Amino acid sequence: MININFETGEILELPFDSHSGADFKGVDLHRAIFEEVDSSYADFSGVNLRNAVFYCVNLTGSKMKGAALMNAILMGSDMGEVDLSESNLSYADFSHVNLSMACLKNAEVEGGSFRGAKLYGANFEVVQIDKCKVSGALYDENTVWPSGYDPELHGAIRK
């Protein structure tokens, strides 16, 4: 069994052996708190994660396609190879998050912060990129941006 704490003080007990590889589909995790846990290869597809906090969480290889992550805080987390395609990431904070090889295709990013994030090889063909912050984000020749977008004009750094 694992326990998930919420900002409201509530605790949700789930019948999983660990966070890693867990199937969270269908679970409402609005305002959930994940702190320094290994949630690698977990499935959060379509899950309500609004206002959730992922502090220094290993989410490597997790599925978050179509998830609602509005106003979520993910600072310091490892999200390499995560599928965030078609998710709503509006006003979420991905500052200093490793998003290397992640797929964010068609994700809504209005008001989101990707400052200092690692975007090496990521598919960053997002919606409303002009309304998010990428200052200090690191990318390489394999990072895919929306057509006509110049990341360096917005402060991203090619390494």
Q: Which pLDDT value is given to residue 111? A: 98
Q: Which pLDDT value is given to residue 135? A: 98
| Confidence at 157, pLDDT banded by 50, 70, 90 | very high
Q: Which pLDDT value is given to residue 20? A: 98
**Class of CATH domain 1-159:** mainly beta
Mean pLDDT of 19-36: 97
- Average confidence score pLDDT of the chain: 97
Segments making up each domain of the chain, as ranges? 1-159
Mean pLDDT of 35-45: 97
Distance, CA of 7 to CA of 41 (rounded, Å): 24
